[in-house]
Every structure is written in C-alpha cells, then in structure tokens.
A = this chain, B = another copy of it.
Amino acid sequence: MSFLDHIARCNAHDLSQFQPWLIGAARAGWVHRDFAAVLGRRPDLFTPGADFWHLSEALSAPQRRTEAVGAFLRDLAREGWFSAWRDERYPVTPDLKRPALMAMERAAVPYFGVRAFGVHLTGYVRRADGLHVWVPRRARDKPTYPGMLDNTVAGGHPEGLGLLQNVVKECFEEASIPVGIARQAKAVGAITYCHQSGMELKPDVQYVFDLELPEGFICRSNDGEAESFELWPVADVIARVRDTFDFKYNCNLVLIDFFVRHGLIAADDPDYFAIVAGLRRHPFGPGDAPG
C-alpha cells in the first residue's frame, strides 16, 4: 500500500446516494436517500424539492433553526439514531469565516452531510537522534474508533471558540499539555476530504497545528480519551502510516501533511504531487465547481 491509499479512503463517497439540503439559497449539507425518508416525516421542518430538501422558510433566524431542528434530532435520538449523542453543537457553515446558518448536535452532523471543522495537532520533539512524534492510542471504550492510533491532540471544533483557543483546551484535556506550552502551537495549514460511511457523509476541514515539545515533557491523557502515549521516531510513524490502517482514518492525512511539510517525502517520489494535491481534495465542498 501507499500514502495515496489513505487519501483515496478518506475521499471515498458516492454523492449520487445523497440529496442536498438547503437553508435559503445556501447548501447546508447532504442527506442520504435512505435517511431522507426521516426528513419527510416532518414537512413543517423539511420541504422536498425536485431532488433536494429545503429547511422551512418559517425558520428565519439561526437560533430558531437550531431549536426547531434540535428538538427533532432529540426525538430521533430517542428512536436510536445518532448513537454517540454528545450535547455539543457544531456550526452549520461552509467555512468559519461566515456566520453559521444554525448550529447542530455533533452526533447528527454527518447524517446531514454538514461540513465539520476540527483541529489536529502533531506534538513532536527534536532529539539528538532525530525527530520524534507523540502518538496516542484511543481508549478501548471510546464510541468511535476505539483502540486505534491517533494524532497527538485532535478535537472537533464547536461553536463559539477560536481555533487556537480550542487547540489550547484540547491540548490540556487530551495530552496534559499546559497552556504555556500549548499556546506555542503553530497553525501550519488545513486538510480537507469527503468521507462516506453508510448514511453518514463528512465533507470536513481539519486545521493542522504543529507543536514542538521540550525533550523532557511527557504527554499523558487527562480526560481518559487516550489509553496511552508513546514517543516514536518519525521513521516509525512514516512506516506505520504508509503500511497499515492502524491510525484513525483521517489522522493519516494529518501525518502525511506533516511528512510533506517537514521534507520527509522526496519531491522526486512519483506520488509526490498526487499526495500534495490529495491532502486538499474538495476544499470548497463536494459537488462544488473547482475553485
């Protein structure tokens, strides 16, 4: 296998299985045809069009949309949808620059094909014997991807926080990195992809951060989301990403981007350009014209 297999896997989806849903003139997301029947039960909220769904025009303000849809989502959760309800809301927006059209419970977001944003940080150490990366293993009791390898720190981006604020918060919760160190995290880009898993669609943007950690510092889980942390020589991380699916699917792209930015993949590698271009597929969303 190769790095490109991870890029293909993160971008595997069949948009023909989905219908767009709109808020006003803006596409807010995509719903799977098998899930669309559920929307059809609530014509007061979702009106069908030719091959799309429209959020009720009566819900004219973000707050009203959030509340009306939120109540419906709670009903669905009681029926067994959205197994990992979190009481955490994501903004519904194609980019964080524009005000959110509404907010939506995180667990429901991929069922509505709403773009989610996240922060992923690679904590690394420059040792005399070379670059090392802190690699956590996800707790076995996590609802999603239990036991898999993960980025040093990673978290979804909820409404109402700045990106760096979120990084600092997640650094402390996930890896016990104190604020004074976490604030040195550098924003170094973003990756994008569009991943389908059954009825769920994730046309997501992950903001990427690097954080150089002092040699003596030890990453430890604070909130129990990681079972363990290990400091790996970067060559081992490269081999594990290239040759296995041991990391949670989208974490591979963050690490491949780290390898590219740190000059660890040769420009003369025949896959080089495909890798670089592949880390930012669908930057403006699936189904959009190229920029």
| Interfacial residues, chain A to chain B (CB-CB below 8 A) | 11, 95-97, 119, 162-164, 186-190, 192, 205, 207, 209-210, 260-263, 265-268, 270-274, 276-278, 280-284, 288-291
B-chain residues with CB within 8 Å of residue A190 when the two chains form the complex: 272-273, 276-277
A194 CB, min distance to chain B CBs, angstroms: 10
Asked if A291 contacts B277 (CB within 8 A), the reply is yes
Seed contacts A96-B273, A164-B267, A190-B277; 17 additional CB < 8 Å A-B pairs: A95-B273, A95-B274, A162-B268, A186-B262, A187-B263, A187-B265, A187-B267, A187-B272, A188-B260, A188-B261, A189-B260, A190-B272, A277-B283, A277-B291, A278-B291, A282-B291, A288-B290
Which residues from B are CB-within-8-Å of A284?
Answer: 277
Measured CB to CB, the closest approach of chain B to A156, in angstroms, equals 15
- Contact check, A163 vs B267: say whether CB atoms are below 8 A apart: yes
Beta-carbon contact of A207 and B291 below 8 Å: no
Shortest A255–chain B CB gap in Å is 15
| Distance from A139 Cβ to chain B, minimum over Cβ atoms (Å) | 27
Question: A268: which B residues are within 8 A, CB to CB?
Answer: 162-164
Bound-state CA distance A55–B186 (Å) is: 49
Q: How far is the CA of A284 from the CA of B280 in the complex (A)?
A: 12
Select A189's contact among B163, B274, B276, B291, beta carbons within 8 Å.
Answer: B276
**A263 and B186 within 8 A (CB):** yes
**Can you report 26 A-B residue pairs in the complex whose CB atoms are below 8 A from each other?**
A95-B274, A96-B273, A97-B270, A97-B274, A162-B268, A164-B267, A186-B262, A187-B260, A187-B263, A187-B267, A188-B260, A188-B263, A190-B272, A190-B276, A190-B277, A209-B267, A210-B263, A276-B280, A277-B280, A277-B291, A280-B280, A280-B283, A281-B290, A281-B291, A282-B290, A288-B290
